[in-house]
């Protein structure tokens, strides 16, 4: 992070690290509830002068420990379909390796715009048939795993390794519409699947020197707390609350990627 920016804002370094913990909490909470919470940390660290490729690596340790803490909570609450998670985790790990390797050198600006439009399109089935999101489908449908499903999750793993922002939302859509889970079950599987590939991706970024370990420590503290709180809310509030939260987050996040919030600010400022 840029010492000049910190000085110009009249802040001490410890103030910034305290803010990192708070933003990390918000990131972990949103990621566990729906997804796209990582965009909050991206924006924050970018504001303080950290390069995007370094941010992409620095958020990874927090994601690893946040999903571990959330997965334990879901497992203890009997909400996690562990066998299915282990099966779908294999193609996700493979995809994430290719995604992380590509992320080392590629600028993701154009990719972000594509993701924003894609996520908005994913909202359509949520309004068309909301019952599927709230009730899930048969146990037989949930346990069935075909080649197309494995390819879908390999692609999601690729995206998660490449950028990660919004991968939770994409996973929720796939787990509900393709795998047949309700939103609470899907949320549990979502964080576990990210946990499956997170260590591999982190190693790749570490090898390439794209992780600020000191900043990552404070991000991780916030992520763990936010992840635990988020998992508790999901379990207590149920699918309908998560669906509403997910819709709001998708709109806010997609508008951010498309630059609509910045455009609106300039228009009315």
For 98-122, write each residue's pLDDT tens digit: 999 887 776 656 656 666 666 666 6
Q: How confident is the model at residue 86 (pLDDT cuts 50, 70, 90)?
A: very high
Half-sphere exposure of 168 (CA within 13 A, CB side): 32
What radius of gyration, in Å, describes the C-alpha atoms of the chain?
18
Q: Supply the mean pLDDT for the chain.
A: 82
Give the per-residue pLDDT at 106: 64
Give the per-residue pLDDT at 169: 82
Output the six-digit token pair for 264: 């609106």
Q: How confident is the model at residue 48 (pLDDT cuts 50, 70, 90)?
A: confident
**Mean pLDDT score, 176-186:** 82
List Cβ<8 Å contacts ≥24 apart for 47-50: 47/5, 48/1, 48/2, 48/5, 48/6, 48/16, 49/1, 49/2, 49/4, 49/5, 50/1, 50/2, 50/212, 50/215
pLDDT tens-digit map of 205-256: 999 999 999 999 999 999 999 989 988 888 888 767 766 776 777 777 777 7
The model's pTM: 0.79
Using the predicted structure, report yes or no on whether residue 87 has a pLDDT greater than 60. Answer: yes
Output the six-digit token pair for 228: 């635990």
Angstrom CA distances, 124 to 47, 128, 254, 259, stand at: 33, 6, 14, 21
Question: Tokens 């110009």 correspond to what residue?
Answer: 8
Report the C-alpha gap between 2 and 93 in whole angstroms: 34
């Amino acid at each position: 992070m840029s010492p000049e920016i910190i000085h110009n804002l009249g802040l001490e370094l410890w103030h910034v690290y305290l803010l990192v913990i708070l933003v990390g909490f918000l990131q972990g909470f949103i990621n566990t509830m729906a997804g796209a919470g990582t965009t909050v940390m991206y924006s924050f660290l970018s504001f303080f002068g950290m390069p995007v490729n370094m941010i992409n690596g620095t958020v990874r340790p927090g994601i690893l420990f946040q999903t571990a803490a959330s997965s334990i909570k879901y497992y203890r609450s009997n909400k996690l379909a562990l066998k299915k998670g282990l099966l779908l985790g294999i193609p996700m790990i493979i995809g994430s390796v290719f995604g992380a390797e590509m992320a080392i050198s590629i600028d993701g600006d154009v990719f972000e715009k594509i993701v924003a439009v894609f996520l908005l399109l994913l909202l359509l089935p949520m309004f068309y048939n909301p019952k599927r999101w709230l009730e899930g489908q048969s146990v037989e449908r949930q346990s069935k795993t075909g080649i197309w499903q494995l390819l879908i999750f390999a692609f999601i793993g690729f995206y998660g390794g490449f950028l990660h922002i919004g991968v939770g939302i994409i996973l929720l859509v796939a787990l509900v519409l393709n795998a047949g889970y309700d939103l609470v079950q899907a949320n549990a599987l979502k964080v576990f699947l990210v946990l499956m590939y997170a260590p591999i991706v982190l190693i790749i970024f570490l090898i390439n020197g794209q992780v600020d370990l000191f900043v990552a420590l404070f991000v991780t503290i916030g992520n763990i707390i936010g992840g635990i709180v988020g998992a508790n809310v999901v379990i207590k509030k149920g699918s309908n609350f998560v669906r509403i939260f997910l819709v709001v987050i998708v709109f806010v996040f997609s508008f951010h990627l498309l630059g609509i919030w910045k455009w609106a600010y300039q228009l009315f400022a």
